[in-house]
Amino acid sequence: MFGAANLRSAGNRKTMTVETVSLNRSHGGMQGVYKHASRETGTEMTFSAYVPPHQDGAKLPVVWYLSGLTCTHANVTEKGEYRKACADLGLIFVAPDTSPRGQGVPGDPAGAYDFGLGAGFYVDATQPPFSRHYRMWSYVTKELPELVAANFPVEETRQSILGHSMGGHGALTIALSHPARYRAATAFSPIASPSQVPWGIKALGGYLGDNREAWRKHDTVALIEDGARFSDFLVDIGDADPFLKEQLRPELLEHACARAGIPLTLRLQEGYDHSYYFVSTFMADHLTWHAARLKA
C-alpha cells in the first residue's frame, strides 16, 4: 500500500481508513508513514513501514520494531539505519508509536517521561484513567498486524520482532507469549525484568494495579520462570549505558535463560551507551539474525 486504503476490521466490522502521511524512496524501496483511527486505543495512531524493492505479487517477511521511552515511530525511522539492510535482505520493517496520544489521553500526573505519553510499556492497562486508551498490547499484537497484512505485501507466516529499551521489554515478552507467530526475537538494551526495577514497578503498578501476579506476563524473566519458551534470543547492551545496572539488569535475563535452557546470545558492547548511535551500529547484525530465521 502506497496510498490511502480502506479495510474492514475483523474485530468489530468497522471500516477503517489508513492515511498516507509521507512517502520517500530509499535503497530502491519505499519508506512510508501512515496514520489511522485505532479501535483498540480509541485514538489516531501513527506508524512507519519500509517496504524493500520486490517483484509484483511477492510476499515478504515482516519485522516489527518496538521503540523505547519518550519515542514515537520517528526515532527509529530517522535514526535506526535499517533500510539498507532491509533492502538487501528483503524485509518489511514496521515501527508503531509507543503510546496513544491526543485529546483526552492521560499522561503522567507529574509530567514525568517514564509513564503515560510515550511510555505505554506495551500492556493493556486495567487501571483508570489509563484503561480507556492504553491498550498497546492488543494494538501491537492484534490490530496493527491485521492492518499491515491487509495493506502491505506481508507473508504472515514469516514474522519477527525486536525493540529497544522499553521496546526491548515489549519485544521479548510478546515473543515469549506468541512463540508460534514470531520466528526471531532480539533486543537492544531491554528492561529485562520490569517487576524488579524502578521504571517497570512504576509503569506496571500504574497500568495494571498492585497485584503483582498480573505483572508477570509483562516481565521477560517472570514469563520464563512460569514456563514460557522461545527458540533463541540475541541481546545487545552497551557497557557505557547509564541505565545498565539499575534499570536493565541483563544478568537477570541471562540467569533465567540459562535455567530454562533458552539459547541467549548476550553481547555487552564496549563503549556504547543507550542511544540510537548504539542501536544503529548493530541494527544490521540484528536484521541479519532475523533474516536467517525468517527465511529458513
Residues with catalytic annotation?
165, 241, 274
Cβ–Cβ < 8 Å for 189, 274: yes
Which residue has 509513564 as its cell numbers? 115
Dihedral sign, CA of 67, 69, 73, 75? negative
Give the Cα separation of 192 and 214 in Å (integer): 17
Which residue has 530509499 as its cell numbers? 26
Cβ–Cβ < 8 Å for 2, 33: no
Give the Cα separation of 182 and 180 in Å (integer): 6
Of 138, 167, 143, 135, whose CA–CA distance to 69 is shortest?
Answer: 167
